[in-house]
A and B are shown apart, each in its own frame.
Chain A
Amino acid sequence: MDRVTDGVAVILVEEDGETVDEVHVEDIPSGIRVGDKVHLHSDDGDETKLEAVDEGEETERRLEKKLRRLRLRGEKTDGEE
């Protein structure tokens, strides 16, 4: 989930390491936060629903590592690492 803007969740649909689509969902289940990886389901009424999946932590670790590499370029960093 990329962001929640004025009650609307913006989900970037990713396939094989590429962003291929964007879906807007108004019904955000409790417990799902920005940055979480989710699966999208469509029920019979064609309403899209979100379901959290357990892939977020690995992605988070990988990206934090890349960000640390980026920070090494600068002489000054935030000092929060």
Chain B
Amino acid sequence: MDRKTAAVLLLCLSAVFFIGCIDGIAGGGGDGVPDSTDEDTGDGAGEYDDWEDEPPEIEPSGSEYIADGGNRTTDTRLTGSAEVHFVDVGQADFTLFEGPEANVVIDTADWQDENVVPYLRGQGIEEIDLVLITHPDADHIGQLDKVMNSMEVREVWMSGTPHTTQTYEDAIDAVLGSDAGYYEPRTGEEFVVGRMRIEALHPEEGTLTGDVQRDSVAVRVVYGETSFLMTGDAGRGAESEMTEDAEEGRIELDSDVYQMGHHGSSTSSRRSFLEAVNPDVAVYSAGEGNSFGHPDDEVIERHAEMGIDVYGTDEHGTIVVEVGSDGNYTVGTGKDAPLVVPFVTPTVSVTVSVVSAVVESGADLGRDFSGGVLSVAP
């Protein structure tokens, strides 16, 4: 080997070494935040000795499942922007937390429709990191089978309370027929998916009642400085448990955006719970003219009294909250409509004749005056 060849070889080796260093920084070591991939080096190092042409694929030492801590960075600082879509799917729930770095779906709308997969594809999404089904009612788990059969889903979470409907069985069969992981989150657990943190708020370990709505999974999803609270169809009992847990410091309920429990039903969003959540914005998902009376007038009134801006998919269509890395967020709506406010009984002006006064005083008959405005029910 002459000097020139040796110099070129040395230069190449240096370049390889330098690239290796850069790769190490990009893998999570440079931001000062622990990265679970750092732990892989011990297990995989020996396999590099047998390299010939291509480096072998190395299995991560730990599970890649989100529920097991994942194989991702724990840095949840938001870089770029993220979007949360409360999709208008009629009398059902379907919410998409889109990017950056991960997509999470909470609930998959109603069994009678086919609008979840088309919506996701419309957003350019073919892979979903996590599908969380708050509970197995057919207006929440409705299209999970279609999602599982059409897209790559990394992981599915449910409450663990089974149902007996064919819709539920179709969903379970579809998950069993896929490669997706499965998990049942419990109060106090925290997970990181891409740049979002998911805090499980309900149900508590060992407290499943068998009532699918009562056992709803509730989570707080945090993007940078902005937080979203999702409670499925959790009612008073579950809200009380969460409020108590928050008072004891086990969980955090305070959130910027609250998806109103049970489509804005009177069964949910009690005042004490709302005070603990203390949201600026509330969103409900309900179908126009639905037969359940959602959202409930008193619930809307309660939000208005607390100065919370209320949006509904029946009034506003799909509602998209765009979250910026600066902690600010904006609310966009598919339909142009004013904020949802309590139903106010129409007021009607009437002229009141002071008949009694006339009778008593014997004053001029026929003297009328506009005595004021009365609230008159229609």
Contact = CB atoms under 8 A, between A and B. Distances in A.
Interface of A: 2-3, 5-6, 8, 10, 12, 14, 17-19, 22, 24, 34-37, 56, 59-60, 62-64, 66-67, 69-71, 73-80
B176 to A, nearest CB: 6
Contacts of B160: 67, 71, 77-78, 80
Contact of A64 (B112, B162, B296): B162
B68 interface: yes
Contact of A34 (B68, B184, B211, B296): B211
Contacts of B162: 60, 63-64, 67
A39 to B, nearest CB: 15
A10 B169 contact: no
Contacts, number: 108
Contact of A66 (B173, B184, B206): B173
A78 B158 CA distance: 11
Contacts of B184: 71, 74, 77-78
B182 A73 contact: yes
Instruction: Summarize B's interface: helix, strand, loop or mixed.
Output: loop
Contacts of B44: none
Contacts of B205: 78-79
B328 interface: no
6 tightest A-B CB contacts, nearest first: A35-B164, A6-B292, A59-B164, A73-B182, A3-B137, A14-B166
B111 interface: yes
Nearest to A3: B137
Interface of B: 63, 65, 67-68, 111-112, 137-139, 160, 162-170, 172-173, 175-176, 181-184, 186, 205-206, 208, 211-213, 262-263, 265-267, 291-294, 296
Contacts of B181: 73-74
B265 A5 contact: yes
Contacts of A76: 67-68, 183
A70 B68 contact: no
Contacts of B111: 12, 19, 22
Contacts of A66: 169, 172-173, 176
Given A8-B291, A12-B165, A59-B164, A71 B182 contact: yes
B172 A70 contact: yes
A63 B292 contact: no
7 contacts: A2-B138, A2-B165, A5-B294, A22-B111, A60-B164, A74-B67, A78-B186
A18 B99 CA distance: 35
A26 to B, nearest CB: 9
B154 to A, nearest CB: 12
A14 B183 CA distance: 28
Contacts of B169: 62-63, 66
Contacts of B175: 70
B172 A19 contact: no
